[in-house]
């Protein structure tokens, strides 16, 4: 139970600051002051009981703490006067924000939590901390740029939280604020998640956390339910941020994503729809990072069953692309060769996509590039290799 004390102390500190008479204000009645002192004593008593070995005493301590905080809050709202009431309403809102911060800190190890508390309680930083945990998306967005100017990992922790915010206003503003900030591995992972994972078909399965049952029908509940096409659109901006950062750890993260793709069924492949912004963005990041050992995964993907077979005509020319086309193009580029030699060309359809004329041309190109890599002793990864425990750095 000792690990909860910093969060509770934070709540008490904020509550007392709200209730304590400031200089120049009218002093409260002795009876009200006595009630505040009694609440303080009750708080101290409850706090001391949380460390006791007996469960019943700890339960009683929690009840006393709850009652003490309620008494301090009641002490605040008894005062009259429109200005005082407005200021108290503002402070109560800030207290709610700080309470959410305290709850988030309770999930951290004790030493890290204390570090965050000492840092965040500084007068210049406290409004930014409260803003990052506000219920209002505009307030959360407003603190992104000021926080991005504050150095250190404590600010990075808050910025990463804002990057994961479900509201577009918040995470787009935060991405803009991070443009000139040195990226940490955690920030890179979060931005890559926005650039690639949230716009992929297998994101739905990865984000199912609960299953509701209605009349025998099982309904998956996902944690991220914004519109799919909005996520795809905003993934373009996240890709731009990664291209600007050029982080050193991007290569390993991209290889991990490729491994996860190979583990999924072909229908849940990022390359299943090679004309989408997500597939194109992922390809651009691969070309930027040029990770080592990526070819075995791409070779595995081009030999998967053709789960998508697009046959179209554009300007009197046949167009074919499938879930194999984009990894085929990447293998050709990584080999330092010209896609035209393999009959691949860039069609303007769907904003630009790599294609061939027909399925036989694609099959021939796959056979040719596979033979080229085989001569260099590079082959597709095996299912056994795919199921080795592996994860991105730091995970």
188 closest CA partner among 247, 258, 255, 260: 247
* Cβ neighbours of residue 90 closer than 8 Å, sequence gap 6 or more: none
Task: Supply the DSSP string of 246-279, one letter for each residue.
Answer: --TTHHHHHHHHHHHHHHS-GGG-GGGSTTSHHH
Task: Supply the DSSP string of 58-69, one letter for each residue.
Answer: HHHHHHHHHHHH
369 assigned to some structural domain: yes
184 assigned to some structural domain: no
237 assigned to some structural domain: no
H helix or E strand, kind and range, residue 154: helix 153-163
Strands 345-347 and 317-322: unpaired
300 assigned to some structural domain: yes
143 closest CA partner among 169, 166, 104, 119: 169
Q: What is the pLDDT of residue 286?
A: 95
15 assigned to some structural domain: no
11 assigned to some structural domain: no
Q: Residue 15 CB: number of other CB atoms within 10 A? A: 26
Q: What is the pLDDT of residue 16?
A: 38
376 assigned to some structural domain: yes
Q: Which residues pair with 208 in a beta bridge?
A: 222
Q: Is the distance from CB of 328 to CB of 304 less than 8 angstroms?
A: no
290 assigned to some structural domain: yes
Instruction: Count the domains in the chain.
Output: 1
Q: What is the pLDDT of residue 265?
A: 77
Q: What is the pLDDT of residue 29?
A: 47
**Measured distance CA(279)–CA(302) in Å, rounded:** 15
Low-confidence ranges of the chain (pLDDT < 50): 1-30, 390, 392-395
pLDDT tens digits along 204-251: 555 556 788 888 888 877 655 556 677 778 999 999 999 999 999 999
Q: What is the pLDDT of residue 1?
A: 39
Angle subtended by helix axes 185-195 and 228-245, to nearest 10: 140
Domain that holds residue 277: 244-386
Q: What is the pLDDT of residue 216?
A: 84
Provide the Cα torsion 106, 109, 110, 112; round to 10°: -100
Q: What is the pLDDT of residue 37?
A: 80
Q: Residue 68 CB: number of other CB atoms within 10 A? A: 23
């Amino acid at each position: 139970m000792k690990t909860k004390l910093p969060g509770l102390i934070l709540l008490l500190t904020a509550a007392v600051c709200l209730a304590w008479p400031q200089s120049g204000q009218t002093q409260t009645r002795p009876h009200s002051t006595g009630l505040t002192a009694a609440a303080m004593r009750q708080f101290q008593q409850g706090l001391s009981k949380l460390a006791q070995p007996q469960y019943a005493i700890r339960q009683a301590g929690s009840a006393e703490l709850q009652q003490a905080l309620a008494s301090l809050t009641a002490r605040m709202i008894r005062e009259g006067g429109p200005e005082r009431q407005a200021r108290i309403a503002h402070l109560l809102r800030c207290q709610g924000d700080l309470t959410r911060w305290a709850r988030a800190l309770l999930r951290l190890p004790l030493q890290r939590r204390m570090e965050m508390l000492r840092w965040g309680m500084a007068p210049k930083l406290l409004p930014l901390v409260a803003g990052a945990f506000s219920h209002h998306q505009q307030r959360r967005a407003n603190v992104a740029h000021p926080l991005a100017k504050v150095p250190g990992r404590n600010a990075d922790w808050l910025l990463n939280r804002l990057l994961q915010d479900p509201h577009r206003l918040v995470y787009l503003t935060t991405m803009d604020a991070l443009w000139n900030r040195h990226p940490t591995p955690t920030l890179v992972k979060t931005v890559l998640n926005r650039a690639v994972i949230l716009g992929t078909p297998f994101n739905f399965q990865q984000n199912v956390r609960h299953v509701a049952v209605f009349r025998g029908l099982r309904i998956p509940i996902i944690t991220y339910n914004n519109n799919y096409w909005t996520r795809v659109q905003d993934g373009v901006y996240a890709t731009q941020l990664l291209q600007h950062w050029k982080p050193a750890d991007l290569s390993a993260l991209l290889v991990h994503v490729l491994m996860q793709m190979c583990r999924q069924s072909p229908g849940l492949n990022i390359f299943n729809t090679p004309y989408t912004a997500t597939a194109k963005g992922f390809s651009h990041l691969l070309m930027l990072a040029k990770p080592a050992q990526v070819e075995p995964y791409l070779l595995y993907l081009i030999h998967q069953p053709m789960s998508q077979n697009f046959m179209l005509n554009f300007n009197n020319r046949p167009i074919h692309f499938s879930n194999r086309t984009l990894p085929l193009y990447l293998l050709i580029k990584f080999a330092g060769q010209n896609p035209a030699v393999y009959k691949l060309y860039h069609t303007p359809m769907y904003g630009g996509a790599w294609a061939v004329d027909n399925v036989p041309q694609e099959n021939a190109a796959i056979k040719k590039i596979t033979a080229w890599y085989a001569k260099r002793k590079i082959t597709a990864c095996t299912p056994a290799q795919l199921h080795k425990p592996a994860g991105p750095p730091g995970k």
